[in-house]
Chains A and B, each alone.
Chain A
Amino acid sequence: MPAPGQALQSRARAIPHLRWWIGGLLFASTVINYIDRQTLALLAPFLTQDYHWSHTDYANLLISFRIAYALGQTACGRFIDRVGTRRGLSISVLWYSFVSIATSLATGFRSFAAFRFLLGAGESANWPGATKAVSEWFPRHERALASALFDSGSSIGGAIAPFIILPIYFRWGWRPAFVIPGLLGFLWLFVWRRIYYLPREHPRITDAERTTILAETESLGSVADRRVSWGALLKLPQTWGAIVSKALTDPVWFFITDWFPLYLVAKGISLKSGLIAVWVPFIAADLGNFFGGWASGFLIKRGWSLGAARKALVVFGGFGVTLLIPTIFTMNLVAITALFGLATFCYAAFSTIANVLPSDLFTGGSVASVSGFSGTGAGIGTIIAFELIGYFSDATQALPGHSFDKIIVVAGLVPFVGMLLVLLLVRNTRATKQGLARPI
Chain B
Amino acid sequence: MQIKILDDKKALGQAAAEHAAKSLRAALRENGAARIVAATGASQFEFLDSLTSAADIDWSRVELFHLDEYVGLPATHPASFRKYILERIILRTGIGLKTGITQYHLLDGEGDPQEIAKRVGSELISRPIDIAFVGIGENGHLAFNDPPADFASEEPYLVVQLDEACRRQQVNEGWFSQLADVPMRAISMSIRQILRAKEIIAVVPEARKALAVQACLEEEIGPMAPASALRNHKNTALYLDRDSAALLKASKRSVSQGSVAR
Contacts and interface: CB of A to CB of B under 8 A. Distances in A.
Interface of A: 1, 81, 200, 208, 210-212, 214-216, 218-221, 223-228, 300, 303-305, 363-366, 428, 432-436, 438-439
Given A211-B82, A303-B112, A439 B94 contact: no
A17 B39 CA distance: 30
B100 A433 contact: no
6 contacts: A214-B90, A303-B111, A364-B100, A435-B102, A435-B123, A435-B126
A200 B60 CA distance: 14
A434 B126 contact: yes
Nearest to A440: B119
A219 B95 contact: yes
Given A200-B91, A305-B112, A215 B86 contact: yes
B87 interface: yes
B117 to A, nearest CB: 12
B149 to A, nearest CB: 27
Given A212-B76, A365-B99, A433 B83 contact: no
B97 A428 contact: no
Contacts of A434: 126
Contacts of B68: none
User: Secondary structure of the B side of the interface?
Assistant: loop
Given A208-B76, A219-B104, A433 B98 contact: no
B100 A227 contact: yes
B100 A363 contact: yes
B101 A226 contact: yes
Interface residues of B, number: 33
Contact of B103 (A221, A223, A305, A438): A221
B162 to A, nearest CB: 20
B101 to A, nearest CB: 5
B75 A215 contact: yes
B116 to A, nearest CB: 9
A64 B123 CA distance: 45
Contact of B122 (A218, A228, A363, A428): A428
B100 A81 contact: yes
Interface string B74-110: 1110001011001100110111111111111110100
A221 B100 CA distance: 5
B115 interface: yes
A236 B11 CA distance: 50
A155 B111 CA distance: 34
A300 B102 CA distance: 21
A220 B103 CA distance: 8
B86 A439 contact: no
B86 A214 contact: yes
Contact of A218 (B102, B115, B126): B102
A23 B244 CA distance: 51
B123 A221 contact: no
A438 B102 CA distance: 8
A133 to B, nearest CB: 15
A432 B123 CA distance: 8
A210 B59 CA distance: 20
